[in-house]
Amino acid sequence: MKIAFIYGSPKTKDSASASLLQELKPFLQQDGITISDYNFNKPLLNEEEMEQLKDYDALVFGFPLYVDGIPSHLLNCLTQLETFFASLNEKDIKVYSIVNCGFYEGHQNKLAMEMMENWCSKAGLKWGQGLGIGGGGMMTAIKNVPIGQGPKKSLEMPFRQLANNILNGASDENIFISPSIPRCLYKLASEMGWRKSTKANGLKTKDLSARK
Ligand SMILES: Cc1cc2nc3c(=O)[nH]c(=O)nc-3n(C[C@H](O)[C@H](O)[C@H](O)COP(=O)(O)O)c2cc1C
């Protein structure tokens, strides 16, 4: 079975989406499974990439939520792929997605997941399952914490379910989860992060609430 992992964050380092896809890999490691990585951190795909993608059994997207939707560079790639896939006669490709967001609540990713489902049907592909994850702001800071432990305790069952569905080519209900830490703690840590960023960029905390 051939699986393509598609990295949809524009970030080239410290991407929460990339870190989540990397953490899904061990759940898929079995004989006969090959996983290849594709970077969609650009607005256009080349012919070769599109030709290659038609030969996979499963496409697994990992991307951040931008303004309740799909980041524009990724949307552009999807539009290109939609035309390409829609022009093919024979295809049996399942699509899975992990969408993560800065807000605590995983269900914030619901609209973006519906956009992916709609894209699938327009491209003539089959929707497998989506996993919407909240608390993306802390994912790279805790990338060494194993799935199933501490703040990532709530991720274990959804990761297992998603991996089993990918391996079996199955479709299932989308899952939306929040991290295993209290919401107020996540908010506190995020605000500390914002203050640190303002300092690093030569600004003051009050600049966070500045209006033009
Ligand atoms: C332009 C932009 C728009 C965003 N919009 C949202 C949003 O609507 N809701 C949300 O919860 N997080 C939003 N975020 C936060 C990202 O989804 C979050 O930081 C995510 O973890 C980034 O993943 P990445 O590191 O893989 O890029 C936004 C971030 C950016 C840069």
pTM of the model: 0.95
Query: Tell me, what DSSP letter sits at residue 134?
Result: S
Tokens 């991290």: give the residue: 179
Going from the Cα of 134 to the center of ligand 1, the distance in angstroms, rounded, reads 10
Ligand 1 close to Cβ of residue 7 (< 6 A): no
Going from the Cα of 63 to the center of ligand 1, the distance in angstroms, rounded, reads 9
Q: Taking 90 as the threshold, does the pLDDT of residue 208 lie above it?
A: no
Ligand 1 close to Cβ of residue 113 (< 6 A): no
| Residue 161 CB burial class (10 angstroms; 0-12, 13-18, ≥19) | middle
| Residue 116 CB burial class (10 angstroms; 0-12, 13-18, ≥19) | buried
Give tens-digit pLDDT for 132-155.
Answer: 999 999 999 999 999 999 999 999
Q: How many residues does the chain have?
A: 212
Beta strands (DSSP E) in 31-93 are 34-39, 58-64
Q: Which CATH architecture has domain 2-181?
A: 3-Layer(aba) Sandwich (3.40)
| Residue whose CA is at the smallest distance from ligand 1 atom 3 | 66
Ligand 1 close to Cβ of residue 67 (< 6 A): yes
Phi and psi (nearest 5°) for 170?
Answer: -100, 160
Band the pLDDT of 91: cuts 50, 70, 90.
confident
Structural domain boundaries in the chain: 2-181
